[in-house]
Amino acid sequence: MKIAIIGTGYVGLTTAAVFSELGNEVIGVDIDQDKIERLKKGEVPIFEPTLAEYLDRNSKAGRLSFTTSYKDAVDGAEVIFICVGTPSQSDGKPDSSFILNAAEEVAKNLKSYAVMVIKSTSPIGIGQQLNDLIAKHTKEDFDLAACPEFLREGTAVEDSFNPDRIVIGTKNKKAEKILLDLHKPLPGERVLCDIKSAQLIKYASNAFLATKISFANAIAIICEKTGANVKKVMQGMGIDSRIGSSFLNAGLGYGGSCLPKDISAFIALSSDLDYDFNLLKSVEKINNDQIQNFVSKITNSLGFESPKNLKGVKIAVLGLAFKPNTDDIREAPSLKIIRLLLDSGAQITAYDPKAMENTKKVFPNIEYAKNPYSAATDANALVIITEWPEFREMDLEKIRKNLKKPIIVDGRNIFEKNRMAELGFKYLGIGI
Ligand code: UDX
């Protein structure tokens, strides 16, 4: 099957890798000429485990190519995936203009029947708008569908080959059959529904994941007030198969390019429908409050009362990426925490295994260390923001010796409190 993929970002490239690996002829199109040139040379513009290998292998096998020409991409394609970005606008709603532009370009170049599939997370109801727009620009027969993605950064390729479910949103039987055939080699339960339900499955899933995280963070506050341990409480809750143990880790809340954007979009879209989504507003508020609570915890641990003056205080920050195994710092808690600490006059030395280059663009003037030990040297406290595996393996004796004061404030609860006390640390986590 010939497949066109519009947009060569995270979702587009992963989709291209999967369907070319499954033997289809895939062509990726993007308006960014520079990006396409790099992809043609075999350079992958994002860090995602195994993605480069898949793209390379399938390009060499002649099954995968890239172009800036909609004409070349759309010509003869039976399925066209729209994978362009839907960035947040100032009111929180997603900006659909990239989707609409892409659909218009596709329509203008359509020469035979195709199924156009929305993969981007987009406002419910965009289906009708797209149908009208495409019909205006082509006389060819086409069908519209929505197949949302549920990829996690860092495991995007693996997730795509082993999905829990494949959602196919279309009420048209011909389009449904084409999409079922295309996805046939992949595991996972099939959910067949209409376009709007498919779109809502994506929003509702992300909203529910965020709710679990904020719930755990709210319970963490109760744990701190009562002396209970949130790790044990979540373990005890998660064993119940009706609840499930994933996404119950209390910490610094959710960040990244998806959850924060999708939660505020869902609140704004619900408000347009005259529904005040108070539950999600609270989820978002708890998430935002985690940052200020954590900064207060740092200043309190140093013996300062809030509001505080941290002038001359050196703080070692471990972890900048929004989660481990990525260099992505979009909506990362680290950025907000560093900003607040700098505003209080603190001096920051940061270390992250992958995300320092990206962070230098935001904070060119803080210090960057080459490992956790040099970050800790002469610092008044060490702060853990991302739970990279290498931090769990640190030589804590060496860290304690390097620190000016043996204080660790851990936003991800990676160590056992009792063991840290035995090692001579003043150790503060979230809800433990
Ligand atoms: C997420 C969804 O998982 C994915 O299905 C969707 O398509 C895109 O958004 P991703 O942004 O890659 O994927 O990150 P994910 O691994 O889900 O983590 C999201 C955030 O939640 C991270 O900041 C993480 O640190 C935080 N988190 C996760 C917690 O704070 N506690 C948890 O228990 C789990």
Compute the distance from residue 40 Cα to the ligand 1 centre, in Å.
31
| Residue 258 annotated among the catalytic residues of the structure | yes
- Please tell me the residue having the least CA distance from ligand 1 atom 17: 152
% of residues, the chain, pLDDT over 70: 100
Pocket residue to mutate for ligand 1, from 209, 212, 289, most atoms within 8 A of Cβ = 209
How far is ligand 1, taken at its centre, from the CA of residue 302, in Å?
31
**390-413 pLDDT per residue, tens:** 999 999 999 999 999 999 999 999
**Res 46: pLDDT:** 84
CA-154 nearest atom, ligand 1: 12
Mutating to test ligand 1, I would choose from 162, 213, 266, 326 the residue with most ligand atoms within 8 A of its C-beta, which is: 213
Closest atom of ligand 1 to 332 CA is 23
Q: How far apart are CA 195 and CA 40, in angstroms?
A: 34
Q: Span 221-242, mean pLDDT?
A: 98
Distance 216 CA to ligand 1 centre (A): 14
In this prediction, residue 307 carries a pLDDT of: 62
CA 208 to ligand 1 center in whole angstroms? 11
Alpha carbon of 248 to ligand 1 centroid (Å): 11
Confidence at 291, pLDDT banded by 50, 70, 90: very high
The overall average pLDDT reported for the chain is 96
Pick 309 or 158 by higher pLDDT. Answer: 158
Q: At what angle do helices 259-272 and 278-301 cross, to 10 degrees?
A: 140
State yes or no: pLDDT of 360 exceeds 80: yes
Per-residue pLDDT, averaged over 91-112, amounts to 95
Residues 117-125: what's their mean pLDDT? 92
Please identify which residue in the block is written with the tokens 């196919």: 168
Average pLDDT over residues 80-94: 93
Atom nearest to 252 CA in ligand 1: 30
For the beta carbon of residue 221, count every other beta carbon within 10 angstroms.
Answer: 17
Q: Is pLDDT of 306 > 70?
A: no
CA 297 – CA 410 distance, rounded (Å): 10
Ligand 1 neighbours by CB, cut-off 6 Å: 149-153, 206, 209, 213, 247-249, 251, 253-256, 258-259, 322-323
Residues 6+ apart with CB under 8 A from 175: 115, 143, 144, 145
pLDDT reading at 157 higher than 80: yes
Which pLDDT score, from 0 to 100, does residue 47 have? 82
CA angle 183, 188, 189 (to 5 degrees): 100
Q: What is the pLDDT of residue 114?
A: 98
